[in-house]
Amino acid sequence: MVDVDPAYTSQECSQCHHIDRRSRPSQAVFVCRLCGFVEHADLNASRNIGRGGWWTWVRGAQSAASALTLTA
């Protein structure tokens, strides 16, 4: 498991990475104020969290998951 700071993930555009709280005109809609990208707000935020986790993993962060133990 990789921890990702969720701060601003709902305000960041998953396409151009511009952050603006006004990009959330409603709870369910995300409209980037810079590039015009439109997406369901939760899907946009989940893409940002996923990318953050991927970058953390690529940089070599230690996993918080317990190690697998195989027994015969």
Query: Is residue 68 in some structural domain?
Result: no
Query: What is the mean predicted confidence (pLDDT) over 26-49?
Result: 97
Query: What is the mean predicted confidence (pLDDT) over 25-40?
Result: 97
Q: Is the pLDDT of residue 65 over 90?
A: no
Q: 60 — phi, psi (to 5°)?
A: 95, 25
Query: What is the mean predicted confidence (pLDDT) over 9-21?
Result: 97
User: What band does 4 get if pLDDT is binned at 50, 70 and 90?
Assistant: confident
> Tokens 């015969």, residue?
72
Name the nearest CA neighbour of 39 among 20, 21, 12.
Answer: 12
Query: Is residue 63 in some structural domain?
Result: no
pLDDT score for 63:
55
Sign of CA dihedral 41, 43, 45, 47: negative
Query: Is residue 36 in some structural domain?
Result: yes
Query: Is residue 9 in some structural domain?
Result: yes
* Number of structural domains found in the chain: 1
